Structure 1
Amino acid sequence: MFLIYLRRELRRRKKAALVIAMGLALGIALVITVNSVSAGMTQAQGKVLQSLYGLGTDMTVTKAQPTTTSNSRPNFKFNAKSDSSSSTQSSDQVRIQGFETLASSTVTKVADQTGVKSAVGGLSLSVIKVDGSFTQGKAQTSGGSGKPGGGGGGTTKVQGGGASFGVNSYTVYGVDTGNLAVGPLTSSKITSGKTFTASQNNDKTAVVDSAYAKTNKLTVGKTLTISGTKFTVIGIATADSGDAAANVYIPLTRAQTMAASKNKVTTIYVQAADSKQISAVKQTIQKNISGTTVTTSADLASTVSGSLSTASNLATSVGKWLSIAVLIAAFLVAALLTSSAVSRRTREFGTLKALGWTSGRVTRQVMGESIVNGLLGGAFGIAIGLAGAYTVSAISPKLQASLGSTSGGGGGPGGGGPGRQSAAKAIEIALTAPVSVNTIALAVVLAIGGGLIAGTFGGWRASRLRPADALRSVA
């Protein structure tokens, strides 16, 4: 009887039911769209941070104080030659980049901490290379006899000659070939050739970033000279998003030898055993290993700037409060419309009470109708919200983001990533609006909640009606 009467009344009042349902639908659709865009912002931010950390890395450990600017200047030496022909010269200098070094034994200490799954050390280097050529000038005498010692008042001048040199700087990163699942190379994919093997930790092999390889015409099999040592290119790596961690990757032991930093690292990459315990692991490392700074992706998230940051703030703050305001308005409108509809049904409810319906039964009837309206609104709201999210994903507006420095380091985590030359370089990210199951579940809960609120108002109003009111309305 309840369901039959419910269906008949809803069909009889289709327009009123549709108005209530659409009011709830708009509020729910806005919540879905805002939540989806916020999720897309989080994903976009994750892509920016992934270009720094890579997959599998939850935090990095560096020495607490970054390296101060050194007063020593680069020193380049060239061999003098007496021949008159042009002489090509080349000299480069390898320097540790970013933070001060840590002992390699610190990597083992970090790996032994509670909650740490694995820890890998890396050495960030910068290479400044000067190459070019000298051209010897020629002496020419004008006037006089033109012969040395012959007098005659002639003037001797050196004409021609000179030097033409170019300066090239690039970044090199020493990676532990024994554990490539964590570390700077995880932010890139090997698109040509192959990556290192565990046995190549001291080999003269290199993996080159694709952008650097293209600029310098490097391919798999070619050689690259770093500080007089020739490295064979075995692979080309392409960054998943943004800049690569370095221009060139070489085995860690070989990098330590080149930088005269045996058993030293600049960065320790850490993978936590449980992603939910990252904060606790960070505190444990800082407590047990003095003189270190632990940086997580959450720490770096606040340094992401650009249009991505602006849009993210808008979606999380303004969007959230706008959604709440619209939901409250939608619930109130639904409640008022339901209460108004009950007022217009005075004769109906009064007659039903006169026929023996109890106040509770009348209230349940109104509540049932309101919940159905809420579910209809939820269905419409989910459809509209999905359409809005799909539209955002289809348009894929471009957002720019860059990582600012959190600690003043020139090239370590917090300074734009290990091995980076420019932390402020913008990264372009395409915005998407993924809709999760949790968002759909939230929409269903809101739909039922809106129906219950509206039904509560209407049911309370209906329960107060008396049979005498129906008789007076007939008269």
Structure 2
Amino acid sequence: MFFTYLRRELRRRRKASLVVASGLALGIALVIVVNSVSSGMGKAQDKVLQSLYGLGTDMTVTKAQAPTSSGSQGPRFRFDARSDDDDSKQSSDRVMVQGFTTLASSTVAEVADQKGVSSAVGGLSLNVFKVSGQFTRGQFQQNGGGGVFQRGGGTGQPEGEVKGGGADFGINQYTVFGTDVTKTALGPLSSSKITSGRTFRTTETNAKVAVADSAYAKQKKYKVGSTVTVKGTKFTVIGIATADSGDSAANLYIPLKQAQTLADQKNKVTTIYVKATDSQQIDSVKSAIQKNVSGTTVTTSADLAKTVSGSLSTASSLATKVGKWLSIAVLIAAFLVAGLLTSSAVSRRVREFGTLKALGWKSGRVTRQVVGEAIVNGLVGGALGIALGLAGAYAVTAVSPTLQAQLGGGSGGLGGAAFAGPGRQAAKTLEVALTAPVSVTTIALAVGLAVAGGLIAGAFGGWRASRLRPADALRRVE
């Protein structure tokens, strides 16, 4: 009887039911789109951070920055004097630690022993400056008059001037990352995919081998088997890596021991990459490391995400703040409209409910009938809302607007950003395409909102129906 009457009443009041369902559908669709876009923002931000942190890395540990005197640090280049008359070509490499601060390799074990740490691995970020060019000897040209000049009564010298000559030098700057080849699952290299050749073997801890970033390899025309010379040491390219985020953390990756030798930093690392046993305990792990490992700075992915600026940051802020409150406002409005429309519909069915009560229906049964109708309207609205939300999320993904993210200006040691002076990192601009993935959680939320909307509308109508008295109802005419 309940379902028969429910089906008949919904069919008889199709327009009113559709209005209630449509209002709920719009609110639910907006919630789905906003949640999906927010999720897409999070994924885009994670993609930006992958090139710095590496996949699976929860935090990085670096040496606490100490004040440095300006002008006291920086690359210096010296060239040997030549006594011959030939023009001389000269070249000089300078390998410098990124950020000028290092930690002892033993610190990696200290960090790994902290409670909540699943694994830790050290890496050494280097900047290489290669200056090469040629000195050209100038030519002395005597004046046409052939005169001589006297200086202090000494021997006369031909009068003339030196023309031409000088120096022409170019600077090639690139980054090198020393990676622990026994633990390649953590660190910047883990965010790149080997597209040619192979990655490091665990036995190549001190081998003269290198993995080149694909963009840098294309620029320098490197391929598997090519030879790269860094500060007089020749490395064989064994693989080409393509960064998932489109921007690599380093131009070249070499074994950690080789990097330490090139920089004269034996048993030193610049960054320790850490993975926590539980992603929910990252803050407590961070506190434990800072407390127990002195002289270090711990940066989580959430900390680094705060340094992201540009259109990605602006869009993320709008999605999380404006979008959230707009969704709440629309939902409240939709629920109120659904409740008021249901209550209004009950007031127009006074004679019907009065007759039912006169026939023996109790107030509870009438209330359940009204609530049942409202829940069905809510579920229909939920289905429509999910369909509209999926369509909106698909449209956002299909259009794929490109957002820019800027990282930089912070302290050193966050991975592989370009060198920008003592203890600083250069601004790094990345472009990412926005997507709007719809998760199962979002769909479940939409269903929950649909049921909640139906219950709220039913509560309004049921309360109104329960207050009807048969005698009063039968005296009214629709």
2:93 is matched by which residue type in structure 1?
Answer: D
Please tell me whether the aligned partners of residues 94 and 128 of structure 1 are also in contact (alpha carbons under 8 angstroms). Answer: yes
Which amino acid in the other structure matches residue 59 of structure 1? M
Report SS of the residue matched to 1:332. helix
- Aligned-residue offset at 1:419: 4.7
CA distance in 2, matches of 1:67, 1:59: 24
2:181 partner SS: coil
Question: How much does 1:350 deviate?
Answer: 0.8
Pick one of 456, 472, 475 that aligns with 1:472. Answer: 475
- Mapped partners of 2:12, 2:167: distance in 1: 95
Matched, 1:219 2:223: yes
1:20-419 matches, within 5 Å, as 20-65=20-65, 68=68, 69=70, 71-98=72-99, 100-142=101-143, 154-406=158-410, 408-409=411-412, 412-413=413-414, 417-419=415-417
Q: Separation in 2 of the partners of 1:86 and 1:218? A: 30
Closer/same/farther in 2, CA of residues 463 and 64 from structure 1, 3 Å limit = same
Aligned-partner residue type, residue 19 of structure 1: V
TM-fit CA distance, 1:81: 3.3
Aligned amino acid, residue 247 of structure 1: N
- Measured after TM superposition, the shift of residue 84 of structure 1 is 3.7
- Larger deviation, residues 323-332 vs 237-246: 237-246
1:77 alignment partner, SS class = coil
1:382-416 CA-to-partner distances (Å, cap 9, x unmatched) read 1111111111011111111112344x33xx11xxx
How far apart are 1:467 and its partner, in Å? Answer: 1.9
Give distance in 2, aligned partners of 1:159 and 1:302.
57
Query: Given that residues 76 and 91 in structure 1 are in contact (C-alpha distance below 8 angstroms), is that contact kept between their aligned partners in structure 2?
Result: yes
Q: Distance in 1 between matches of 2:227 and 2:394?
A: 48
| Paired AA for residue 391 in structure 2 | A
- The residue identity in structure 1 corresponding to 2:462 is G
- How far is the alpha carbon of 1:348 from its aligned partner? 0.6
The DSSP-based 3-state class of the residue aligned with 1:198 is coil
Deviations 1:52-111 (A, max 9, x none): 111121111111125735514533232333444432210121111115111111111111
Decide whether aligned partners of structure 1 residues 199 and 335 sit closer, same or farther in structure 2, where only a CA change above 3 A counts.
same
Distance 1:70 1:466, change over 3 A: same
- CA deviation after TM superposition for structure 1 residue 145, in Å: 8.2
Are the counterparts in 2 of residues 125 and 419 from structure 1 also a CA contact under 8 Å? no
The question of 1:5 aligning with 2:5 is answered: yes
Going from structure 1 to structure 2, the CA distance change for 1:46 and 1:144 (only over 3 Å counts) comes to: closer
**1:306, distance to aligned residue in structure 2 (A):** 0.6
Normalised by the length of structure 2, the TM-score is 0.93
Q: Is the 8 A contact 2:75 2:96 kept in 1?
A: no
Instruction: State how far apart, in whole Å, the 2-side matches of 1:324 and 1:466 are.
Output: 37
CA offsets per residue over residues 166-186 of structure 1, 9 Å max, x none? 122221111111111111211
Match of 1:164, SS state, is strand
1:219 aligns to what SS in structure 2? Answer: coil
Q: 1:142 to 1:70 in 2, by over 3 A?
A: closer
1:282 & 1:99 partners in 2: Cα distance? 23
Task: Note if 1:420 corresponds to 2:418.
Answer: yes
Q: Is the 8 A contact 1:143 1:152 kept in 2?
A: no
For residues 207 and 67 of structure 2, the distance between their equivalents in structure 1, rounded to whole angstroms, comes to 29
Distance 1:254 1:348, change over 3 A: same
CA displacement at 1:3 relative to structure 2: 0.8
Q: CA deviation at 1:136?
A: 2.2
Change (3 A) 1:99 1:365: farther
Instruction: Report SS of the residue matched to 2:476.
Output: helix
- The gaps in structure 1 that reach 5 residues or longer are none
Alignment check: 8 A CA contact 1:145 1:152 kept:
no
Q: Is the 8 A contact 1:135 1:162 kept in 2?
A: yes
Letter aligned with residue 392 of structure 2: G
Matched residue type, 2:34 = V
Q: Any idea what the Cα deviations from partners look like across 1:338-378, whole Å, max 9, x if unmatched? A: 11111111111111111111111111111111111111111
Is residue 52–residue 417 contact of structure 2 (8 Å, CA) maintained in 1?
no
Overall identity of the aligned pairs, in %: 72
CA contact (8 A) 2:393 2:438 kept: yes
The amino acid across from 1:418 in the alignment is G
TM-superposed deviation, 1:195: 1.5
Q: Per the alignment, do residues 146 and 223 of structure 1 end up closer, same or farther by CA in structure 2, a change over 3 Å counting?
A: farther
- Looking at structure 1, the residues matched to 285 and 368 of structure 2 have their Cα atoms a distance apart, in angstroms, of 53
